[in-house]
Structure 1
Amino acid sequence: MSEITLNAPRMFDLTGRVALVTGAGSGIGQRIAMGLAQCGADVALLDRRTDEGLSVTAEFIARAGRRSIKIAADVTSGSALNEAVSQTEKELGDLTLAVNAAGIANANPAEDMEESQFQTMMDINLKGVFLSCQAEARAMLKHGKGSIVNIASMSGVIVNRGLNQCHYNASKAGVIHMSKSMAMEWVTRGIRVNTISPGYTATPMNTRPEMVHQTKLFEEQTPMQRMATVDEMVGPAVFLLSDAATFVTGVDLLVDGGFCCW
Structure 2
Amino acid sequence: MTAQAVAKEMIRHGRGGSIAIIASMSGTVANRGLICSAYNASKAGLIQLARNLASEWGPHGIRVNTLSPGYIVTAMVEALFEQYPERRRDWPTQNMLGKLSKPEEYRGAAVFLISDASSFMTGSDMRIDGGHAAW
Q: TM-score scaled by structure 1?
A: 0.49
Partner AA of 1:198 in structure 2 = P
Partner AA of 2:88 in structure 1 = T
Who is 2:114 aligned against?
Answer: 241
Aligned residues: 132
2:93 to 195, 220, 224: 220
Structure 1 consecutive aligned stretches of length 4 or more whose deviation exceeds 4 Å: none
Who is 2:52 aligned against?
Answer: 181
Q: For residues 259 and 248 of structure 1, what CA distance do their matches in structure 2 show?
A: 23
Question: Structure 2 matches for 1:5-84, cutoff 5 A?
Answer: none
How far is the alpha carbon of 1:213 from its aligned partner?
A: 2.2
Extract unaligned runs of 5+ from structure 1.
Answer: 1-130
Extract unaligned runs of 5+ from structure 2.
Answer: none
Bigger helix fraction: 2
Deviation per CA, 1:53-106, whole angstroms, max 9, x where unpaired? xxxxxxxxxxxxxxxxxxxxxxxxxxxxxxxxxxxxxxxxxxxxxxxxxxxxxx
Q: TM-score scaled by structure 2?
A: 0.94
Does residue 143 of structure 1 match 2:13? yes
Does residue 229 of structure 1 match 2:102? yes
Q: For residues 250 and 215 of structure 1, what CA distance do their matches in structure 2 show?
A: 33
Describe the SS at the equivalent of 1:223: coil
Q: For residues 118 and 9 of structure 2, what CA distance do their matches in structure 1 show?
A: 21
Q: For residues 203 and 138 of structure 1, what CA distance do their matches in structure 2 show?
A: 33
Deviation per CA, 1:103-159, whole angstroms, max 9, x where unpaired? xxxxxxxxxxxxxxxxxxxxxxxxxxxx11111111111122111000000110010
Describe the SS at the equivalent of 2:121: coil
Contact kept in structure 2, 1:206 and 1:215, CA below 8 Å = no
Who is 1:195 aligned against?
Answer: 66
Percent of pairs identical after alignment? 46
Describe the SS at the equivalent of 2:72: coil
Q: Select the structure of larger CA radius of gyration.
A: 1
What RMSD, in angstroms, separates the aligned Cα atoms of the two structures? 1.0
Who is 2:43 aligned against?
Answer: 172
